[in-house]
Amino acid sequence: MARENNYLAIILKKQPFGEGDEILTLFTKEAGKIRGLAKSTKLPKSKLQYALQALFLSKITTTKSSALPKIIRAETVKTFSHIRESLLAAKIAFYAIELLIKFTADEHKNEQLYNLSESFFGFLDSNSANERLLQLGLAKYKSDFLDCLGLGIHFEIPGDDIINIGFSNSRGGFLFEESAADYKHVDLKTFEVFAILKKAAFSELPNVFNNYQDLVKNADELQELLSSFIRYQLERDVRSEQFLSE
CB 34 within 8 Å of CB 91: no
Taking only the tens of pLDDT, the chain with its 246 residues reads 468 999 999 999 999 998 899 999 999 999 999 999 999 998 888 889 999 999 999 999 999 887 899 999 999 999 999 999 999 999 999 999 999 999 999 999 999 999 999 999 999 999 999 999 999 999 999 999 999 999 999 988 777 777 789 999 999 999 998 889 999 999 999 999 999 999 999 999 999 999 988 888 889 999 999 999 999 999 999 999 888 876
Q: From its phi and psi, is residue 245 left (phi > 0), alpha (psi between -120 and 50) or beta?
A: alpha
The answer to whether residues 36 and 105 belong to one domain is no
Instruction: Please check whether residue 103 lies inside any domain of the structure.
Output: yes
Instruction: Please check whether residue 83 lies inside any domain of the structure.
Output: no
Distance CA 142, CA 197 (A): 11
pLDDT given at position 87: 94
The answer to whether residues 61 and 105 belong to one domain is no
Instruction: Please check whether residue 33 lies inside any domain of the structure.
Output: yes
Q: Which of 20, 47, 50, 52 is nearest to 36 (CA)?
A: 52
The interaxial angle of helices 188-199 and 131-148, nearest 10 deg, is 70
The answer to whether residues 114 and 217 belong to one domain is yes
Structural domain harbouring 54: 4-78
pLDDT given at position 1: 47
What CATH code is carried by the domain that includes residue 152?
A: 1.20.1440.120
